[in-house]
Amino acid sequence: MSDITAATTAEAAGDRLDKNWMIDKGLQALMFICGFSAIIFVLGIFIFVFKEGAEFVAHKMDFAEFFFSPKWRPTSLSNPTYGILALIAGTAAITALSMAICLPFSLGAAVFIGEFAKGKTREYLKILIELLAAIPSVVWGFIGLAIMNPFIIKTFDVPIGLNVLNSSLILALMAAPIVTSLAEDALKAVPDAYREAAEALGATRWQMIYKVIIPAAKNGLLSAALLGVGRAFGETMAVLMASGHSINMPTSMFDSVRALTATIAAELGETPVGSDHYQALFAIGIFLFIITFVINLAADLIVRGVRKG
């Protein structure tokens, strides 16, 4: 009797080293590496950007000039200045206008898809919107250059069509799919019991959406909007191509401007590694990094607030 028990135990122990066990453990390790590498890469980028920009920020940068001077003249031989105010203003103008265009449309689309569209219509719309998100940004930039530019010149009778309006329209279209699908998720997360209760009390569809669904989903909608802002803020190529890329404090939506991101993209390849100009571009990178981080963190915290409440 005890012999048999001993044998079975040994067999069971031996089992642990068979092929399935190895595959299981092997795949576990692989998954761990994949998951962990994401953290490593983010940290790596973070450290690299900070390292390249740190010297400039710590020793050479004049904070007042950097943030409050609109004079970005890094290539001046006699007196280079590194003021990014015009670039901030450009990015802010483009982001703000693009969101003003994008948010009403996206939220409207989300409400339509989530609350009104049924069956096939709803499925097709969702696929189409996701398709919109798959268009590469350089294609959007191309549309800005080749289609929107002459269109804006003709329609508004302005000398140049590569301006705040152009890049905002492009960015609005680019951010719309993200905002729409996140907002739709937020609406979908509202329990159906609320809809039923409101309808049973005699609410029309619109009364229900306006008074019950949107307030219940408001944190999710807010976070969708914030991520849209993050998307617009961080976009580079399309903005570079559609904004005119000229350093300018914008006074109207027909002014050409330059964005923070586009500046880095356009100039980094042509600066000597380690020069002041190179480091100043990395300082801009750090600034961008911090802002997008704050936006994403805010969006995340807002959503978490939903789960808790």
Contact call for residue 197 and other proteins (CB under 8 A): yes
Contact call for residue 204 and other proteins (CB under 8 A): yes
Nearer to other proteins, 159 or 202 (CB): 202
Nearer to other proteins, 28 or 207 (CB): 207
Residue owning tokens 């980094």? 268
Reported in sequence order, the residue ranges of the chain that DSSP labels E, i.e. its strands, are 72-73, 81-82
Find the binder of other proteins among 1, 58, 64, 200 (CB under 8 A): 200
Identify which range of 149-157, 177-185, 188-196, 239-247 contacts other proteins by CB under 8 A.
Answer: 188-196
DSSP labels, 58-124? III--HHHHHH---EETT-SS--EE--HHHHHHHHHHHHHHHHHHHHHHHHHHHIIIII--HHHHHH
Task: Classify residue 17 by burial, with Cβ atoms within 10 Å: 0-12, 13-18, 19+.
Answer: exposed
Asked whether the beta carbons of 238 and 174 are under 8 A apart, the reply is: yes
Nearer to other proteins, 65 or 199 (CB): 199
Kindly give, in sequence order, each residue whose CB lies less than 8 Å from that of residue 115, ignoring residues fewer than 6 positions away.
187, 205, 209, 213
Nearer to other proteins, 157 or 192 (CB): 192
What are the respective helix, strand and coil percentages of the chain, to the nearest 5? 80, 0, 20
Asked whether the beta carbons of 289 and 91 are under 8 A apart, the reply is: no
Residues 116-145 that bind other proteins (CB under 8 A): 118
Nearer to other proteins, 44 or 215 (CB): 215
Asked whether the beta carbons of 221 and 209 are under 8 A apart, the reply is: no
Q: What single-letter DSSP state applies at residue 257?
A: B
Residue 309 beta carbon to other proteins: minimum distance, rounded to whole angstroms: 8
Contact call for residue 198 and other proteins (CB under 8 A): yes
Closest C-alpha to 274, from 76, 56, 50 = 56
Contact call for residue 304 and other proteins (CB under 8 A): no
Find the binder of other proteins among 196, 210, 274, 290 (CB under 8 A): 196
Residue 120 beta carbon to other proteins: minimum distance, rounded to whole angstroms: 12
Asked whether the beta carbons of 243 and 256 are under 8 A apart, the reply is: yes
Residue 232 beta carbon to other proteins: minimum distance, rounded to whole angstroms: 30
Residue 208 beta carbon to other proteins: minimum distance, rounded to whole angstroms: 10
Nearer to other proteins, 138 or 201 (CB): 201
Contact call for residue 195 and other proteins (CB under 8 A): yes
Crossing angle (nearest 10°) for helices 85-111 and 164-188: 40
Residue 217 beta carbon to other proteins: minimum distance, rounded to whole angstroms: 10
Kindly give, in sequence order, each residue whose CB lies less than 8 Å from that of residue 95, ignoring residues fewer than 6 positions away.
171, 229, 232, 233
Find the binder of other proteins among 28, 121, 155, 207 (CB under 8 A): 207
Identify which range of 21-29, 178-186, 200-208, 282-290 contacts other proteins by CB under 8 A.
Answer: 200-208
Find the binder of other proteins among 14, 35, 159, 202 (CB under 8 A): 202
Contact call for residue 37 and other proteins (CB under 8 A): no
Contact call for residue 272 and other proteins (CB under 8 A): no
Q: Give the binding site for other proteins (CB under 8 A).
A: 118, 191, 193-204, 207, 211-212, 215-216, 309
